[in-house]
Structure 1
């Protein structure tokens, strides 16, 4: 008999990580703008954030109309928002300017699709953009990032908290991601695991946080 799906995330126990997700009472609200292709993706780390963060909004879409229907304008109104994505004029999160931000927008998708969301939504370019000046090494070893300094979405949010709200413990996010990785790798033959580490994956999923 098939095992029942998780009542929280709807996933099979072999891929569900809810049991290890601990509550993180983040001070700054995080808004994830997620590309539709990422919804339900078995390697995505947004589900870790959904199970852990107390202040989180996930809007799924690509076009301004899709985000508008989900209330993006309302979420941005009257709040000092920052976009975590490297732009030509982006500032380091480590700078004093980040201290003025009340909530953070993070793009979730492959690098190409995340950039497309930014391109299609000019209102996002009106927000101050930020990047990490010295990000930690990624442990999202399901796929190797094309460049050093590129993190999964969960890792990016965890490091963001490290820099902007020291009272918040981001470790539950990283522990849950480690469980996700372990469960995913359990289905991968050993020779494929080695291959995944040899070459960067152009479709690496997460948040581009450095350039």
Structure 2
């Protein structure tokens, strides 16, 4: 299993906690990496993929500690995923250097309606030749993400990648979402789709589905045909992908 930046950030944040983080399900005996119950650990199924994209997760302070956080799933699928804790007054120098690195073309993934300067808004990904797109996700609740953007001047001049309402509606309908809200990993899947990496987008969708399924196993028993469907669909997807790549 590959240890990535989100795993490392989680470990670092735990190390400086003065008291245990008591999220829902705090008494569950979790895997330290995938954060589901050890009896339902999914780490052995971690994807092995390649991508021409990079992601930067700027995480609200306690977000990385939440077992339900899906930012780690992005790092599981996309090898070049960077992760830093957000600080209003002391942003990471390493993170700022990454944003200023000429090898990357950064895009902040954020709702258009919250952007005052509409000239920054993009609805498609156009990357200069020789550069790697760096998709920046503000990982927290909607309120926290809004605050992170407003209080981070270094983000205000960057292009903002925003999805049209019909794109969001189509995705939500396809996923049969009930609350019309997307997890961070689901947003990343839409970004990959827009960038043209449909296979990675579908891989992340299946990985998210498997995580959600196994995460729920620790909250309620699942029996019958419903149990194991996430893993079955992931294996079928990988098998079909391998066959298609060999044709």
What's the TM-score once normalised by structure 2's chain length? 0.62
What CA distance in whole angstroms lies between the structure 1 residues aligned with 2:89 and 2:32?
A: 32
Kept after mapping to 2: 8 A contact 1:158/1:174:
yes
Residue 47 of structure 2 is matched in structure 1 by 22
Kept after mapping to 2: 8 A contact 1:18/1:51:
no
1:78-107 CA distance string (max 9 Å, x none): 23211000224253433xxx2137211111
Q: Could you list the runs of 5+ residues in structure 1 that have no partner in the other structure?
A: 191-211
What CA distance in whole angstroms lies between the structure 1 residues aligned with 2:143 and 2:97?
A: 27
- Root-mean-square deviation (CA, aligned residues, Å) is 2.8
Alignment of 1:1-211 (within 5 A): 6=31, 8-9=33-34, 12-14=37-39, 16-65=41-90, 67-69=91-93, 71-77=94-100, 78=102, 79-86=104-111, 87-88=115-116, 89=118, 91-94=121-124, 98-100=125-127, 102-133=133-164, 134-135=167-168, 136-137=171-172, 139=175, 145=179, 148=180, 150-166=181-197, 168-188=199-219
Aligned residues: 178
1:116-163 CA distance string (max 9 Å, x none): 11111111111111211112117496xx54xx4x42111111111111
1:149-204 CA distance string (max 9 Å, x none): x42111111111111133652222111211221123334459xxxxxxxxxxxxxx
User: Structure 1 13/93 Cα, relative in aligned 2: closer, same or farther at 3 Å?
Assistant: farther
Kept after mapping to 2: 8 A contact 1:25/1:53:
yes
What's the TM-score once normalised by structure 1's chain length? 0.72
**Greater percentage in helix:** 2
Query: Tell me, what secondary structure is at the counterpart of 1:105?
Result: strand
Kept after mapping to 2: 8 A contact 1:14/1:183:
no
Q: Could you list the runs of 5+ residues in structure 2 that have no partner in the other structure?
A: 1-28, 222-247
Question: Which structure is richer in relative contact order (CA contacts within 8 A, separation 6 or more)?
Answer: 1
**Greater CA radius of gyration, 1 or 2?**
2
Aligned-residue offset at 1:40:
2.4
